Structure 1
Amino acid sequence: MYKSLLRPIFFLFDPEKIHHFTFSLIKITYRIPGFKDLFKAIYAVEDKRLERKLFGLTFKNPVGLAAGFDKNAVLYNELANFGFGFIEIGTVTPKAQQGNPKKRLFRLKDDQGIINRMGFNNEGVEAAIEQLKKNRGQVIIGGNIGKNTQTSPEEYTNDYLTCFNALHPYVDYFVLNVSCPNVNSHAKLNDKDYLEELISVVQKANKTFDKQKPILLKIAPDLNKGQLDEIIDLVKNTKLDGVIASNTSVFREGLKASDAQLKAIGNGGLSGQPIKARSTRVIKYLSEKSERAFPIIGVGGIHSAEDALEKLEAGADLVQIYTGFIYEGPGLIKAINKAILDRAK
């Protein structure tokens, strides 16, 4: 029903506006008695064989929702009933910020992709905490954290630390988002020496809590082999819990969209089917070169069960969807989990 009826209607409207409309629609629908159980019955796959145990957490299935969809943690309880094994909120910054000027979200329908330059628009860490206090405990929650746009370089670490300390009681794992191409001073966030400093400070803060939370690093799909080798060394040296591969891409090669269309859109991070191969390449390289030394969450271009299996076979332990969720609908989660069960047989 989603692809044949709802998606054609949704795609008639501005992507960002329809995103907010969809949130409101889901909220209203879930207030109708019986609908929550109906969605769960239709989309959720309950099977112990889907469980995955990673960095001290038990995921009821390996299919998650990537950061960027529920930035402010306002819909995770409802989304949990679509069958996700985990949901990542954010990117959250210390202070609320509007992000980049609109229009900043664009569909590439022929490519089944999206270009965005949102710029970490969110309501701030305190607003996220108020929403997370409503957690019904249905699903594992990840906290994707970043810095405010106006923060000076010498204060970057403090921004991450502020979010980490504030969110620590409310999320199950953390993701340091240092690879988004839509924030300023991107170069520093990818400098190995700075990353070692950042991770060290956050890990030190982690040890002050009675229960430590896993910390992961989200990396770009555009890194070359030398840079990926640095990531492997970084994870080893800092004892990070894992890596998310990957974020959006700045490359535009091989797109069906015309040069004129891309020029009109301008800069931004590309997600969806066009980055599938690039993301899988990164996963495979990290897994093989490190000899599976650390867990990898695979994300980028998953629009079918086959796409997800490809990521898992490349070395991912879990997968996340975002653009594929928008193009394919909630049935994608069920399809992936059923395919994993079929493969297990």
Structure 2
Amino acid sequence: MAMTDIGAAVLRSLDPETAHRLAIQVLRVTPLPAPRADDPVLATTVAGLRLTNPVGLAAGLDKNGEALRGLSRLGFGFVECGSVTPRPQPGNPRPRLFRLSEDRAVINRMGFNNDGLEAFAARLARRPGGAVIGANLGANKETEDKAADYVAGLRRLKGLADYVTVNVSSPNTPGLRDLQGRAALDDLLGRLAEARGGDPTPVFLKIAPDLGGAEIGLIVEAALDHGIDALIVANTTLDRPETLRSQDRNESGGLSGAPLKARARAALKAAAEAAAGRLPLIAVGGIDSGAEAYDRLRAGASAVQIYSALVFEGPGLVGRIKHELADRLKSDGFSTAAEATAAAR
């Protein structure tokens, strides 16, 4: 077992939020070696971003952009930090993070706790070179005009990230998911398009898995109408499958990890059918193996993101996913991950 995975086992013995905070501090100060070069078969492109591999880190682990150097050394093809809101906010009262070990799942109701946009921007300005870094934007809980918060984030981070994600799908900020309705989404995306001006930085939209196929279809069309560059499918779910066994299974908040797999797959399928190759898709939710990552690429995703599986598998999971994914791509005759995605269309 790698030392990093032994460390992950130790962290699992701690309170979930304490372990989370300690992991960020370790990644921030530990001088990790550069990862080995990726197998060329893993190469792909998302919204013009060239990735040496399609396995990314989802937002939520490094909310404040504190450990970007360490995270970029774990072998990810891209790293997404945030969510960040214009003003600092403490988030919801603790406890607010629950590890469902029997289900290999996590429930969180963090509530966009973060240091605010200025601290976040200052850290991004010192980001490591050679890594593809994304910034995930949220809105403050008390803000009435939530679209204005996203516009503020987009403007402040101009030139500091390789892409920006507009997160309208967290279940832990009241009213946020309402922005996924067509009228509210048109207003938000229209204002973002105006704020972008001629800035070529890609803007992604992250949606919830609890939407029906027709709703996802409307979001895809709105994204295309307003120049969104990719869709991230999907965030945590409010659903509680009957199969959950852990004692904290009924805690409120967003559920992620293995139980989200089926719902995330269905949302990706609906998005792929609606997009019909017109909009890149990034799959997230229950991805814990190279086989699952490969299935999402073959379902139309250009890349995948992981987070909750790292809690149970440790950072060595990144390399294991890439190794298995490379083997599957080669065995099916693909020369790059991008070819596998294209073949699904």
**TM-score scaled by length of structure 2:** 0.91
Shift of 1:306: 1.3
Shift of 1:230: 1.2
Match of 1:82, SS state, is: coil
Name the structure 1 match of 2:341. none
Query: In the alignment, is the contact (CA less than 8 A) between 2:47 and 2:229 conserved in 1?
Result: yes
Does structure 1 residue 160 correspond to structure 2 residue 150?
yes
The alpha-carbon distance between structure 1 residues 100 and 245, as it changes in their structure 2 partners (threshold 3 A), is: same
Instruction: For residues 286-342 of structure 1, give each alpha carbon's deviation from its aligned partner in whole angstroms, at most 9, with x where no partner exists.
Output: 112332221000000011111211211111100000001221112221122222322
Shift of 1:61: 1.2
Name the structure 2 match of 1:217. 205
Name the structure 1 match of 2:191. 201
Shift of 1:102: 0.6
Does structure 1 residue 103 correspond to structure 2 residue 95?
yes
Match of 1:213, SS state, is: coil
Q: Quick one: which amino acid aligns to residue 343 of structure 1?
A: R
Q: Quick one: which amino acid aligns to residue 170 of structure 1?
A: L
Q: Quick one: which amino acid aligns to residue 16 of structure 2?
A: P
The alpha-carbon distance between structure 1 residues 293 and 106, as it changes in their structure 2 partners (threshold 3 A), is: same
- CA–CA separation in structure 1 for the residues paired with 2:318 and 2:188: 34
1:1-345 aligned within 5 A: 1=1, 5-30=6-31, 36-37=32-33, 40-41=34-35, 44-152=36-144, 155-207=145-197, 209=198, 211-257=199-245, 261-263=248-250, 266-345=251-330
Query: In the alignment, is the contact (CA less than 8 A) between 2:9 and 2:314 conserved in 1?
Result: no
Query: In the alignment, is the contact (CA less than 8 A) between 1:303 and 1:327 conserved in 2?
Result: no
Shift of 1:49: 3.0
Query: In the alignment, is the contact (CA less than 8 A) between 2:296 and 2:304 conserved in 1?
Result: yes
Query: In the alignment, is the contact (CA less than 8 A) between 2:237 and 2:255 conserved in 1?
Result: yes
- CA–CA separation in structure 1 for the residues paired with 2:224 and 2:96: 37
- CA–CA separation in structure 2 for the residues paired with 1:230 and 1:118: 29
Shift of 1:85: 0.8
Match of 1:64, SS state, is: strand
The alpha-carbon distance between structure 1 residues 247 and 120, as it changes in their structure 2 partners (threshold 3 A), is: same
Match of 1:96, SS state, is: coil
Identity of aligned residues (%): 38
Query: In the alignment, is the contact (CA less than 8 A) between 1:305 and 1:332 conserved in 2?
Result: no
Query: In the alignment, is the contact (CA less than 8 A) between 2:55 and 2:322 conserved in 1?
Result: yes
Match of 1:262, SS state, is: coil
- The structure carrying a bigger helix percent of its residues is 1
Query: In the alignment, is the contact (CA less than 8 A) between 1:64 and 1:84 conserved in 2?
Result: yes
Q: Quick one: which amino acid aligns to residue 330 of structure 1?
A: P
- CA–CA separation in structure 1 for the residues paired with 2:274 and 2:194: 28
Q: Quick one: which amino acid aligns to residue 121 of structure 2?
A: I
- CA–CA separation in structure 2 for the residues paired with 1:147 and 1:117: 15
Q: Quick one: which amino acid aligns to residue 293 of structure 1?
A: R
Name the structure 2 match of 1:33. none
Shift of 1:4: 7.2
Match of 2:73, SS state, is: helix
Q: Quick one: which amino acid aligns to residue 84 of structure 1?
A: F
Q: Which has the higher contact order (CA 8 A, sep 6+)?
A: 2
Shift of 1:76: 1.0
- CA–CA separation in structure 1 for the residues paired with 2:127 and 2:223: 31
**TM-score scaled by length of structure 1:** 0.91
Q: Quick one: which amino acid aligns to residue 228 of structure 1?
A: I
The alpha-carbon distance between structure 1 residues 6 and 235, as it changes in their structure 2 partners (threshold 3 A), is: same
Query: In the alignment, is the contact (CA less than 8 A) between 1:221 and 1:282 conserved in 2?
Result: yes
Match of 2:13, SS state, is: coil
- CA–CA separation in structure 1 for the residues paired with 2:323 and 2:37: 7
RMSD: 1.7
Shift of 1:256: 2.8
Matched pairs, number: 329
- CA–CA separation in structure 2 for the residues paired with 1:14 and 1:121: 17
Unpaired runs of 5+ residues, structure 2, are 331-345
